[in-house]
Structure 1
Amino acid sequence: MNDKRVVIFSGGDLYPQYIDEIRPSDYVIGADKGALFLIRHGIKPDLAVGDFDSISPQELEHVRAECGNIVECDPVDKDLTDTELAIEMAAREEPGFILLVGGTGTRMDHTLANVQMLNRALQHQIQCAIMDRNNYITLTGSKLEVIDRGYKYVSLLPLTPEVTGITLEGFRYPLDNATLKLGESLGISNVLLGERGQISIAGGLLLVIQSND
């Protein structure tokens, strides 16, 4: 199993406790103001990417000085968001896992785009998760082990029109070969019975969201 990790700090909501998620062996990417956030908290990212339109010219010079590897793009003439560019750069490192923090916030368009980008990582055969203070979001097209990370609920939402063959083990409300369709709420607010639970599906893409109120 590939245990290499990439941690991306994007430009959404960022909090100092997120720094604790970084392991010494992680490859760290700062996207746009996520790079500045890392530097201000004593972390020099392995890579900084983006158009850097969310920080001032003086702050950008600070990022350039502190980060030896930086990829800058034009804020107008570009097709990818800074976060998508960071995920593509992360995939080049061939990790087994990508953790995205700062991927959610007040911009719902960016939040939804980032959730959908979990599938981009999955297409590279890389497991990816989005974490914030109240949510831990992953995506599976086959099997997934859900670990108790201190969140109260585990909810299942289809990312494709339907997800078939859903089987849950280790949950308060088990499912056996069930089907979930877009717009149905059957998978909301399940609970782990112990430290781990197992999810398997036969077809489709399933969002797994661990959350607190």
Structure 2
Amino acid sequence: MTVLASRLPVTLIGGGPFSQADIDAARALAPVIAAADGGADRALAHGLTPEAVFGDFDSLSDAAHKAIPADRLHHIAEQDSTDFEKCLIRIDAPLVLAVGFSGARQDHFLAALNVLSRRIGPPCILIAGDDVIALCPPRIALDLAPGTRVSLFPMGQATGRSTGLRWPIDGLEFAPMGRVGTSNEATGPVVIETDGAMLLILPRKSLDLLAAVLAEGQSAR
């Protein structure tokens, strides 16, 4: 089902709000541009023409239709998945950095977190305000500075083990309606192992590090 194959990371633009700083940070790490439906209009407004646009096109403007070459427009009519999921299924890349998927409609944001939790497509990082959010791989090692905020949010039943966290997670059982791991803290380099779907939420300043580690892990596989 791959439509966009890239050896470089991909910046995926959604229809929600994002800043110039968001898109600049994403493009510095992921120079290939794709868009989800009306995100194509946001891309064009920033002077960017996507290599591919995916979605049911219910929010894509006529102006964007005309500005983007027809062979880059991939209309997907089914309504059983979100545009975010439609995109990730069809992208083959080391990493996707997603902007414009938070900060407006919270149902859309929650749906994006749901897609992340189901490990759909390449590793993906949501740039969301002051945070970056990704699904924890089974094992991740991050050379974080002491005091860095590390939040873990389970998207189902989950357990884990850790080194380098102020409050270790060994032996704990996590669940969306039970224990969550908000506002833990690194004491230095961190290693986290998880069983189950666990979202990792770090400060925005950790984007470069998180992107490098996830992309490297994908290449190793």
Q: Paired residue for 1:140, among 117, 129, 136?
A: 136
Q: Indicate if the aligned counterparts of 1:52 and 1:60 stay in contact, CA closer than 8 A.
A: no
How well do the aligned residues superpose, as a CA RMSD in angstroms?
Answer: 2.8
Q: Which residue number corresponds to residue 72 of structure 1?
A: 75
* CA distance in structure 1 between the partners assigned to 2:187 and 2:115 by the alignment: 30
The alignment-based identity, stated in percent, is: 27
**Would you say 1:198 and 2:203 are equivalent positions?**
no
Q: Secondary structure at the match of 1:117?
A: helix
In the alignment, which residue of structure 1 is the partner of 2:202? 210
Pick the aligned partner of 2:12 from 1, 8, 25.
8
Deviations 1:129-172 (A, max 9, x none): 211222211112511234659x9522111111x212x1222222
Cα distance in 2 for residues equivalent to 1:119 and 1:37: 26
Take 1:156 and 1:50, find their aligned partners in 2: how far apart are those partners? 30
Aligned length: 197
d(CA) in 2 for partners of 1:179, 1:173: 14
Runs of at least 4 residues off by over 6 Å = none
1:25 & 1:11 partners in 2: Cα distance? 18
Code of the residue aligned with 2:72 in structure 1: it is N
Native 8 Å contact 1:154 1:188 kept in 2: yes
Gaps of 5+ in 1: none
* 1:157 aligned partner: 153
Residues 141 and 204, structure 1, Cα contact 8 Å, conserved in 2: no
1:8 is paired with a residue whose SS is strand
Aligned residue for 2:184, secondary structure, equals: coil
Alpha-carbon distance change, 117 to 25 in structure 1, aligned in 2, over 3 angstroms: closer
Q: Cα–Cα, structure 1 residues 14 and 123, in superposed 2: closer, same or farther, change >3 Å?
A: closer
Of Structure 1 and Structure 2, the greater helix share is in: 2
TM-score, normalised via structure 2 length: 0.75
Cα distance in structure 2, aligned partners of 1:169 and 1:36: 44
Kept after mapping to 2: 8 A contact 1:158/1:205: yes
Q: Secondary structure at the match of 2:54?
A: strand
> Runs of 5+ in structure 2 lacking a partner?
1-5, 205-221
One-letter amino acid of the counterpart of residue 116, structure 2: L
Given that residues 145 and 199 in structure 1 are in contact (C-alpha distance below 8 angstroms), is that contact kept between their aligned partners in structure 2?
A: yes
Residue 173 of structure 2 is aligned to residue 182 of structure 1: no
Secondary structure of the residue aligned to 1:144 is strand
Alignment partner, residue 216 of structure 2? none
